[in-house]
Structure 1
Amino acid sequence: MVSSFIRLLSTFGFSAFLLVHAAPAHLSEPSVKHAWQQIPADWEVHDAPAADHPITLKIGLKQSRIDELIDSLYQVSDPFHGRYGQHLSRLEVEELVAPHADTVDVVDSWLISHGVDPSSDVTRNGAGDWISIRLPLSKVESMLSTKYQIYKHKRTSEKIVRTLSYSLPRDLHDHIDIIQPTTMFDNMRKMHATSHVNKVDPSSTLSAAELAALPDVTGPNGQQIAASCNTTVTPTCLMQLYRTEGYVPKAANKGNRIGITGFLEQFINFVDLQTFFSKFRPDALGANVTVISVDGGLNDQTIPGVEANLDNQYTEGITFPTPNIFYSTPGTAPTINDSVTPPQRDEPYIDWLNFVLSHDDMPFSFTTSYGGDEQTFPKEFAVRACNLFAQLGARGASIMFSSGDGGVGAGTCETNDGTNRTIFQPVFPATCPFVTGVGATFQIAPEKGIFFSQGGFSVYFPRPSFQDKAVPPFLQKLGNTYKGLFTPGGRGVPDVSAQGEGFQVVVGGEVESVGGTSASSPTFAGIVTLLNDFRISNGKPPLGFLNPLLYSVGVPGFVDILLGNNPGCGTPGFNATEGWDAITGLGTPDFVKLKSLIG
C-alpha cells in the first residue's frame, strides 16, 4: 500500500512537497490522547531532560481489519469450528492489520507538518501498522503538545523520560492507537519474586542414597512421584507429576520449537545449563539453547541471570530434545543517556513482538515471565499489545504468561486514577484474553495453590466467551465477598497453573532454590510443547491459541486444585475451589489425558 503523498514525494522530492503542505489546514486543534491524573505510584519528578535528548517514537497506526483478524483467531482456535487448526500465514495476518490508506495519508501529512520526511525519516514494519522515528525531545514535545520530565523510581532509583499526558490533533485520534514512550511508566518487570531465592544449605541436603530411600508418593492419577518433590522440584519431579515421563519428542525435524523471552539484561549461561543437565537431566548433556538477538540484544556469559537460567533450564529439561530458542531483547531499567551512554531501548516489549511477527518461521509455543499491574499500562497500550498476541495466535503460536506473584494484589493495592481506592490488582499481559495465564501451586499429593499465585479479574478486558461456563460458578460461590474490590465481568486470571516453588536452578555454578509464577509458566509451556510434538508427529497442526480448547474439550485434562488461597490487599484473597478459580485456574495439566483429548 503506497499513499498518494508518498508517490508525490518520490516524484518531486520532500522539500517541494513540504513547501505546499507545511501546515495542513484539515488537521484540527490538539486534544488529549492519554493522561494520568497523578504521577504513577513509586515515581517522582527528578529533573528536566535536555532538549536534544533522543527519543525513538513508536507510533501504532489503527489496524484496518483487526476485528476480522480476531474473528479468524477464534475460528482457527475453536476445536468445534470447521477452520480449526487452519492457521494464517504472515502475509495473511499483515493484510488484516495493515492500516487503511486514509490513515497512512493523514498521519504522514501530520509528520510532514512537523518537518519529518515519511520517505526517509520513518521506519515501518511489514504490515505498516507500526512506525518508528528517531527525534530530539524538543521536536517530540512540539508534535505531542506536551512536556517531558525525568522521573525517578523511589525504591530502585531508576530514571526514565516520560510525560503525564500527550495530545494529538483530534483528526488523528481515530487513526493512531498509541504513541510510546509517552505515558507508560511500567517497564515489564519480571515476575520472579526474589524472596523465593535461597542458597541451598549443603548440610541440610539429603544424599542421593537418603533421597532414594524415601518412599514414593502416589499422585492424583496413581503415578509414583519421588517424595523429595514435595519441597525440591527438578525436571524429573515435573515429568512424574504431570505424566510426561517416558514421552520422547519426535517432531524436532518438523519445526516444533519453544521460544523463551529475555528482557532486562537477563542472560542464559551455557556452562550453568550443562551443569544443570549433569545434575538433573544427564541424557541432555551437550544440548544447548539457540540464542536469537533482537535489535542487538546480548547474551553476556559473565552475568548469569536467575530468571533466564530458570526459564531455559526447565523448558529444555522438560522438552529435550526439542529445540529451545532464547530471544534476547535489549533494554534494562531505563537510564538517561549522556554523551558516553548509548541510546537505551527501555520499552523492548513491542520490539520483540514485531520482530517475531516479521518472520515466516517461528516457534509454536512461547513463555514469558514478565509483566506488571494492569493499571500501570495505559489501556490503549494494553489493547494494542494484546492484539499483537492475537496475531501470534492466529499464526499458530501458543503464548504463556506468568500470572504474577502478588496474590490478589501487590504493593499498596490503590488505584492510580486519583481516587486512591483499594482494589485487587491483576497483572498484564496475563489479563490479555489471547494469552494463557499460568498461576502457581506447591507440594504434591495433593497440590495446593500457593499464596503468591496472582489471580483475579481484568479491568481493561471483559470476560471472553470461552470463560462463560467456567467463571460464573466461581463468582456465584463468592457471592458479595470482596464486592467493589474487583470487576466480576472482567477476564479471569489465571487460566491454568503448575508447580511454582522450590525449583532447583543452577546460577553461577551453584544450585539455588527458586520460586514464582515465573517457574510455572515455562513448566506449562514445556508441556504444551510436548503436546504440539504429539500433534505434529501425527500430521496435525500445532495447537495455536489455547484458551478456547482448554475451556472446552481440555477441561478433563486438568487436575482440579481444591486447596490454597492468595492473600493480598488486606484480605485472605480468593480460595481454590472445585472448577475454575482465581488462584489456580482450571488446575494443573495431566499430559496423558490432554494428549488423548487433543489427539
Structure 2
Amino acid sequence: MAACGKMAVLDKVILVLALRWALTAGDDRWEAFSQPGWQHGARADQENSIIVLLALRQRNLDLLESRAKAVSDPGNREYGRYLERDEIYGISGPWKYDVDLVKKFFAPHPGTLQFSYGGDFARYTCTIRCIEKVFNTSLTIQKGPVAPGTTPIRASEPIRLPAEMQRALEGTSLNAPLFMPPHPTQRTESAFKYPKSGRKAPRVRPFLLAGDQFVSIHFVAYCKDHFVNQDSIEDGVCTSSPHSVLITAFDIIVLQAQTNTQKVVRLPAVPDVLGQKVGRTDDGKPCVEFNATLGSVANYASTTVRIRSLFSDGSVSDFSQADEVLPVWPMAYTTPALLSRNYGIPMHEPVRHPRNSISVAEFLGQYYNPEDLESFFKLMGVRAWSTKEKLQLIGENLPMAGSVLGGEAQLDIQYITALASNVSALFWSVPSIELATRQEPFLDWLMQLEDTSDQEMPLVHSVSYSDDALTMPLWFKQRINAEFMKLALRGITILVASGDDGVSGGFVAKYGKKYCGTNREEFPSSSPWVTAVGGTQLAQENVPVCGYTSGKVVVQCPQDGEVVCTSDKGGGITSGGGFSADFPRPWYQHEAVEHYLNQEDGPVPDQDVLKFNRSGRAYPDLAAISSNYLVLMGDDLQPTSGTSASTPLIAAMVARWNEDRLMNRLPPLGFLNPLIYQIFSKHPSAFNDVQIGDNRCSRSTCCDVGFRAARGWDAASGVGTPQFKTIAAILREEALLAFGGRFGRMAPIAMSESTSGSGMGGDLASVGLIPLLAFQSLVTGLATLAAVWACGHCGRRGSGSAEALGARRPLLSAA
C-alpha cells in the first residue's frame, strides 16, 4: 500500500510537471524556433550573447482599433485627433499579473531583462549557454557558407516554457547577431568562357548592357580555320591564322521586337571603334574579347543582336544566332531629376519645419556611407542644405560595408534625402536577424519605436523590406499588425515595399514554377495598417491603344508613361501584389477592390488557376517608378531596381505634404490609406492610372497567370502613381473641411532664418491657408452661437445639448 501511495504521488508530480511545461502541439509561437530542412552542425559558442524578445499579451485592442479608424478617416469628426503615447499604453498595456510573472520567471537567471515603455515587450539578453538553459533548447551552427547580413545560428528544437508563461505571452522572437566579414568585397561575376573553335560566326557574350538608348556588347571573333582569334586589332584580327585572311569589319544587326525594326551597323576593326581586352576560352586559354557601344537604339523595347565577320578576301561569316544573347530593354536611368520632373516634386525647395522628420528602417547588415551620400548629391546636382547635419543614426553603421554591400541602404538614404531635401532624417539600423523567420527583426524595431517619445518620433517611416508571409508565424504577423495600428493612433505614417517577385513571391524565383498558381503574399506589406507601395517603369506603350496595328492604322505613342514594373519587360523586378490570407479586407478599400474583382479590362484569374483570398486585405495601395535607379556605391554608379526604390520616393512626397500641414499647425497625415482611397474616389485624376502590365513573373521566372493592371485600383499597381502637386492642392482643400473649426485660429509658425533657408522667402504653398481657416472658424463659431440661442428659446432640455453642440466625448473607456 505504501508503494502504491508513493507511485500515486509520483504520478501526480509527473502530471503537474508535464502540465507546467506543456508545449501545445502545432503552436507556432514556439515551434517556429526550429524549422525543417536546417542542417545543424556544431554547437554555437556558449559565451556569445543573444536576445530574446518577449511579446506580452495586450488589453483593449478592439478599443484602440476603433479609435485608430476614427483618427485616420478624413470623414470622421475625430480625424487627426491622435493619441499621445501615454494614452495608448494606459489603455492597451499588459496585465500586471503577466508582468510580475515574467519578472519572477527570469529573476533566478543571469542576463538582463528590459521592458519597453508600455510594458508590452521585454528584451532578455544573455549568453547562448544561458538562453539554452532558460528556454530548454539548443543553438547550433548551420552547415554551409554564411552570407553577409545573415547568421549561422539556429535553434535545433522548439523552445519550452511553463504553461503560465505561455499564457502570459503572445510569442517570443529570438534575435541573433549578424555575420559581417571584416573586409567586405563586392561579389565578382565569373568571366564568360567562349568556345575555342568550331565556328566562323562571332560569339557574343550572353549578357548585354543596356542604358538610355544604347546597348553595349562583348564578343570574340573566329578565323577562317574556325579557331578563336588571338590577335589584337593593332596586329590585325586573325593575322596569325594559317589562312592569313584578316577580319576587316563586323556587321551587327540590332533586333527590337516591340518596334519591329532591324538596325544594321558596320564596325571597322580599328582601335577607334572597338575596345578590346583579354578573354578566356572554355579550355582556359587566352583570346581577344572586343566590345562596342551601339547608340540611337529605341528605349523600352526587347533588344538582341546578331553579328557576322567580314574577311579581307571579300567573304563573310554567318550571323551569330539571336538566341545566344539574352534580350535586354534599353531605358532611361532613374535619377532624382527624372523623378522630380515625372511627379512634379519640388526637389530644390528645402523642407523647413523642425518637426518634419523621416526615417529609413534598415535590417540584415545594410549600412550607408556618408561620403557616398555627399558625393551623390554633387553628382545629381542636388543642393544639400543642412542634410548632413540633420541626418541622425540610430543603431550601428559600418560605412565601408555600406559602399560595398549596402545597396539597399544606400538607395534608401540617397533618394529620400535628395527628394525631401533638408528634412530631418534618421537612419534606423537594427543589426540582428530573427531566427524563426530568418528575416528582419521587425518586433525589435517596433519595440524601439515604442520607446521613442512623441516629440522625437519620426513622422514618416520608409520600410524597404517585406517577406513571404507564409514563412512567418501567425502570432508574429498579428502582433506586428497591432503595433502598426498603435503607430497609426500616434499619427505616424508607415510605408512598406510591396515586394519584387510578383504574385507568387520569392519561392518561384528560388525554386521554379512549381510554386506558381498560388498568391504568396508578402508581409508586412499586406498589413492593413501600412501603406504598401508597388512598382512601375517607364514605357511608351502605356495605354492599350499604343502599339495597335492593322492594315490601315499603326499607332505609336511617343510620350513616356508608366506601366507595371515587370522583369520580363526589363524592369529588373516585378511589382508585388495580391490578397492577404491572414487579414480581412479593411473598410477603406472595399469599394475599390470590389470594382477590380468584377471588372472586365483585365479579369482576375479563376481560383482553379490562381488561388487567392478574394476577401483578404488587398495590396499595393499605390505605386511609383521602381526601375533602373542610379545608386552611388563607392566610386561607381550602379543601376538598381525594386519596390524598395519606390517606397522612399513616396515617403519623400509624404514628408513634403506633411510640411504644408505642419507649417499651418495642423496634425500630420498619419496613416494614409483611408485618405488615399478617399482622394482616389473623389479625385481619380490625382493619380496616374496604370493600365498596362501584370505581376505574373518573379525576378527570374514567369508563371502563366498573375494579377493584371486595369482601369482603377488593381493588384499590381494599386490606385496608380501620385501626382504630387495635384494631391498637395487636394490636401489643402480637405484641410479646410476637416480642420477649419478646430485649428483655424492658429497662426503659422514663424521660422528662424537658419531654419527657413537663406534667400528662400516665406512658405510659398501654404501661407494662403491660414486666412481661409480663420474665416471658416469664425463662421463656425457664429453658427454655434446661433444654435445655442435657438436651443435656449425652443426649450430643448439638458442632457442632449452638449452632444448636439459637438462637445468632445472622452477618448476611450479602458477596461
Answer whether TM exceeds 0.5 for this pair: yes
Is the 1:264–1:333 contact (alpha carbons within 8 Å) kept by the matching residues of 2? no
Is the 2:348–2:421 contact (alpha carbons within 8 Å) kept by the matching residues of 1? no
- Aligned runs of 1:276-291 on 2, under 5 Å? 276-284=376-384, 287-288=387-388, 290-291=390-391
User: Structure 1 CA distance, aligned partners of 2:208 and 2:430?
Assistant: 27
Please point out which of 51, 56, 62 is paired with 1:56. Answer: 51
- Aligned runs of 1:32-431 on 2, under 5 Å? 32=24, 33-34=27-28, 40=35, 43-49=38-44, 54-111=49-106, 115-116=108-109, 121-137=112-128, 139-152=130-143, 156=147, 158-163=151-156, 165-181=158-174, 231-245=332-346, 248-249=349-350, 252-284=352-384, 287-288=387-388, 290-294=390-394, 296-301=395-400, 303-304=402-403, 305-331=406-432, 348-360=441-453, 361-413=456-508, 423-431=518-526
Q: Deviation at 1:69?
A: 2.2
- 2:22 aligned partner, one-letter code: P
Deviation digits for residues 15-47 of structure 1 (CA, Å, limit 9, x no counterpart): xxxxxxxxx999744123426599758743334
- Partner residue in 2 for 1:450: 565
Instruction: Decide whether aligned partners of structure 1 residues 242 and 583 sit closer, same or farther in structure 2, where only a CA change above 3 A counts.
Output: same
User: Structure 2 CA distance, aligned partners of 1:496 and 1:396?
Assistant: 20
- 1:407 aligned partner, one-letter code: G
Please point out which of 15, 30, 37 is paired with 2:22. Answer: 30
Deviation digits for residues 169-207 of structure 1 (CA, Å, limit 9, x no counterpart): 44444421111218x9999xxxxxx99x9989899599x
User: Structure 1 CA distance, aligned partners of 2:208 and 2:434?
Assistant: 24
Deviation digits for residues 55-101 of structure 1 (CA, Å, limit 9, x no counterpart): 32211100122222222221111101111111111212222331011
- Is 1:598 aligned to 2:739, yes or no? no
Structure 2 unaligned regions, length at least 5? 1-15, 180-187, 190-206, 217-295, 298-329, 540-559, 567-573, 733-815
Count matched residues.
Answer: 534
User: Structure 2 CA distance, aligned partners of 1:135 and 1:246?
Assistant: 47
- 1:287 aligned partner, one-letter code: T
- 1:579 aligned partner, one-letter code: G
- 2:368 aligned partner, one-letter code: I
- 1:432 aligned partner, one-letter code: S
User: Structure 2 CA distance, aligned partners of 1:436 and 1:588?
Assistant: 13
User: Structure 2 CA distance, aligned partners of 1:286 and 1:542?
Assistant: 22
- Aligned runs of 1:511-526 on 2, under 5 Å? 511-526=637-652
Is the 2:174–2:434 contact (alpha carbons within 8 Å) kept by the matching residues of 1? no
- Partner residue in 2 for 1:492: 618
Is the 1:414–1:423 contact (alpha carbons within 8 Å) kept by the matching residues of 2? no
Structure 1 unaligned regions, length at least 5? 1-23, 188-193, 207-212, 215-228, 335-344
Larger CA deviation: 480-489 vs 69-78 = 480-489
Is the 2:212–2:331 contact (alpha carbons within 8 Å) kept by the matching residues of 1? no
- Is 1:564 aligned to 2:693, yes or no? yes
Percentage of matched positions with identical amino acids? 29
Is the 1:51–1:137 contact (alpha carbons within 8 Å) kept by the matching residues of 2? yes
- 2:504 aligned partner, one-letter code: G
SS of 2:630 mapped into structure 1: strand
Instruction: Decide whether aligned partners of structure 1 residues 185 and 383 sit closer, same or farther in structure 2, where only a CA change above 3 A counts.
Output: farther
Instruction: Decide whether aligned partners of structure 1 residues 254 and 51 sit closer, same or farther in structure 2, where only a CA change above 3 A counts.
Output: closer
SS of 1:324 mapped into structure 2: strand
Please give the root-mean-square deviation of Cα atoms over the aligned residues, in Å. 4.0
Is the 1:150–1:159 contact (alpha carbons within 8 Å) kept by the matching residues of 2? yes
Instruction: Decide whether aligned partners of structure 1 residues 276 and 247 sit closer, same or farther in structure 2, where only a CA change above 3 A counts.
Output: closer
Q: Deviation at 1:168?
A: 3.5
Q: Deviation at 1:144?
A: 3.9
User: Structure 1 CA distance, aligned partners of 2:461 and 2:66?
Assistant: 22
Larger CA deviation: 66-75 vs 311-320 = 66-75
User: Structure 1 CA distance, aligned partners of 2:103 and 2:562?
Assistant: 56
Is the 2:402–2:409 contact (alpha carbons within 8 Å) kept by the matching residues of 1? no
Instruction: Decide whether aligned partners of structure 1 residues 570 and 109 sit closer, same or farther in structure 2, where only a CA change above 3 A counts.
Output: same
SS of 2:475 mapped into structure 1: helix
User: Structure 2 CA distance, aligned partners of 1:26 and 1:46?
Assistant: 30
Please point out which of 577, 580, 584 is paired with 1:462. Answer: 584
- 2:396 aligned partner, one-letter code: G
- 1:161 aligned partner, one-letter code: R
SS of 2:561 mapped into structure 1: coil
Instruction: Decide whether aligned partners of structure 1 residues 52 and 513 sit closer, same or farther in structure 2, where only a CA change above 3 A counts.
Output: closer
User: Structure 1 CA distance, aligned partners of 2:100 and 2:729?
Assistant: 52
SS of 2:527 mapped into structure 1: coil
- 1:150 aligned partner, one-letter code: I
Is the 1:69–1:97 contact (alpha carbons within 8 Å) kept by the matching residues of 2? yes
Q: Deviation at 1:149?
A: 4.1
Larger CA deviation: 307-316 vs 157-166 = 157-166
Larger CA deviation: 69-78 vs 325-334 = 325-334
User: Structure 2 CA distance, aligned partners of 1:26 and 1:315?
Assistant: 54
Instruction: Decide whether aligned partners of structure 1 residues 53 and 277 sit closer, same or farther in structure 2, where only a CA change above 3 A counts.
Output: closer
Is the 1:42–1:154 contact (alpha carbons within 8 Å) kept by the matching residues of 2? no
User: Structure 1 CA distance, aligned partners of 2:164 and 2:708?
Assistant: 48
User: Structure 1 CA distance, aligned partners of 2:583 and 2:509?
Assistant: 19
Is the 1:65–1:97 contact (alpha carbons within 8 Å) kept by the matching residues of 2? yes
SS of 1:447 mapped into structure 2: strand
Is the 1:498–1:523 contact (alpha carbons within 8 Å) kept by the matching residues of 2? yes
- Partner residue in 1 for 2:241: none
User: Structure 2 CA distance, aligned partners of 1:354 and 1:421?
Assistant: 36
- 1:134 aligned partner, one-letter code: T
Is the 1:440–1:520 contact (alpha carbons within 8 Å) kept by the matching residues of 2? yes
Is the 2:373–2:414 contact (alpha carbons within 8 Å) kept by the matching residues of 1? yes
SS of 1:237 mapped into structure 2: helix
TM-score by length of 2: 0.59
Q: Deviation at 1:320?
A: 1.0
Instruction: Decide whether aligned partners of structure 1 residues 122 and 38 sit closer, same or farther in structure 2, where only a CA change above 3 A counts.
Output: closer
User: Structure 1 CA distance, aligned partners of 2:703 and 2:126?
Assistant: 46
User: Structure 2 CA distance, aligned partners of 1:380 and 1:259?
Assistant: 26
- Partner residue in 2 for 1:533: 659
Q: Deviation at 1:503?
A: 1.1
Is the 2:532–2:620 contact (alpha carbons within 8 Å) kept by the matching residues of 1? yes
Larger CA deviation: 470-479 vs 522-531 = 470-479
Larger CA deviation: 126-135 vs 154-163 = 154-163
- Partner residue in 1 for 2:715: 582
- Partner residue in 2 for 1:17: none
